[in-house]
Amino acid sequence: METVVSGIRSTGNLHLGNYFGAVRNFLKMQRENKCYFFIADYHSLTTHPKPDDLHGNIKQVMAEYLACGIDPEVATVFIQSDVPEVTELYLLLNMNAYVGELERTTSFKEKIRRQPDNINAGLLTYPVLMAADIIVHKANKVPVGKDQEQHLEMTRRFARRFNMMYEVDYFPEPDAYNFGKQLIKIPGLDGTGKMGKSEGNGIFLADSPAEIRKKVMKAVTDAGPPAPGHKPSGPVKNLFTIMNVVSDRSTVKYFTEKYATCEIRYGEMKKQLAEDIIKVTDPIRSRINDILADNKYLARVVSQGAEKARESASKTVREVREIIGYRPF
Ligand code: TRP
């Protein structure tokens, strides 16, 4: 069995893009691999969440993970900050990570541009912590989106560097893992790029049916097809992309044909789309609420996950310390 590690930061609720782009892949992997799925709450500290919000954010994402079908009896589901071994490995890896290479990371350069008044050292060493998350379980596969590929390349480099430095064949080099063509990018409702947590263009798994209807009805479209057989504009194509994922074949076919013959009514299409999204999200939403109401269950899942994750992580850190040269007196 191969080992899989992946994490989601605890900033903001999961949306349709997270669900179809990431979580559904986790579900497919969880039975055939040894999986570690965690909530990257240390990583979320780079944005300085208020103490009163931190716990609630972690709890929400944990409930959402479970509501989507991640099975804590099969996969190890845990919270990053429950595994202090990760921070020890992070410290050790920091000694072999060079400031120059960290400063050249795309995500860091973007942060400098976007939040010039909060360029903390945690942002600079973000890829080192991520590498520690992954190699502490000696992972082979890391299911992540395209935006994380550079971080994963750095993970491989840190693993390789450690092996070279100490002349060992200890850490495997993990691969970014996606399902090729099946990797779906869900666009936002504002007619532009992909659905995001902070772009205000998303549908969240926790949204009520009324909220979803309202958001979909407000989605950007255009003035209608100018001539029969015309290709849909960007915003309209986005609606078709979402429809392709959530609706029946016959529904997609119906609206595709209506578009081609210029008979489409976007209002009708949006109404249908909203109902089909609700069919996907509503069972999840009701499970999210059930799980959030059952604190005992959540506490049990979290402590069981922490125990399993620590078992694997502490073995690695023990061995790494030995390789580095820490010896008992
Ligand atoms: N950096 C990832 C993101 O922003 C989250 C993350 C942290 C992660 N540690 C990880 C993903 C380890 C995969 C493996 O999406």
pLDDT digits (tens, 9 = 90+) for 15-70: 998 898 889 889 999 999 999 999 999 999 999 999 999 999 999 999 999 999 99
Report the separation in Å between the CA atom of 272 and the middle of ligand 1, taken as the mean of its atom positions. Answer: 35
Would the CA dihedral through 141, 19, 272, 214 be positive or negative?
negative
pLDDT of residue 183 exceeding 80: no
Q: What is the predicted pLDDT for the residue at 266? A: 97
- Chain centroid, CA 75 distance in Å: 16
Cα separation, 46 vs 55, in Å, equals 15
Of all protein residues, whose CA lies closest to atom 11 belonging to ligand 1?
Answer: 7
Q: For residue 192, what pLDDT band results from cuts at 50, 70 and 90? A: confident
185 is catalytic: no
Q: For residue 174, what pLDDT band results from cuts at 50, 70 and 90? A: very high
pLDDT digits (tens, 9 = 90+) for 134-160: 999 999 999 987 789 999 999 999 999
pLDDT of residue 132 exceeding 60: yes
Which residues' Cβ are closer than 6 Å to ligand 1?
5-7, 9, 40, 43, 130, 133-134, 142, 144, 148, 151
Q: What is the predicted pLDDT for the residue at 147? A: 83
In sequence order, what are the beta bridge partners of 76?
Answer: 36
pLDDT digits (tens, 9 = 90+) for 75-88: 999 999 999 999 99
Of all protein residues, whose CA lies closest to atom 15 belonging to ligand 1?
Answer: 8
Could you tell which of 4, 43, 58, 158 is best to mutate to test the pocket of ligand 1, judged by most ligand atoms within 8 Å of the CB? 43
Of all protein residues, whose CA lies closest to atom 13 belonging to ligand 1?
Answer: 6
pTM comes to 0.91
Residue 65: strand, helix, or coil = helix
Q: Choose, from 197, 271, 308, 315, the residue flagged as catalytic.
A: 197
Q: Are 46 and 122 in contact (CB under 8 A)?
A: yes
146 is catalytic: no
111 is catalytic: yes
Of all protein residues, whose CA lies closest to atom 9 belonging to ligand 1?
Answer: 130
CB atoms within 10 A of CB 228: 10
Ligand 1 atom with least separation from CA of 139: 14
pLDDT of residue 181 exceeding 60: no
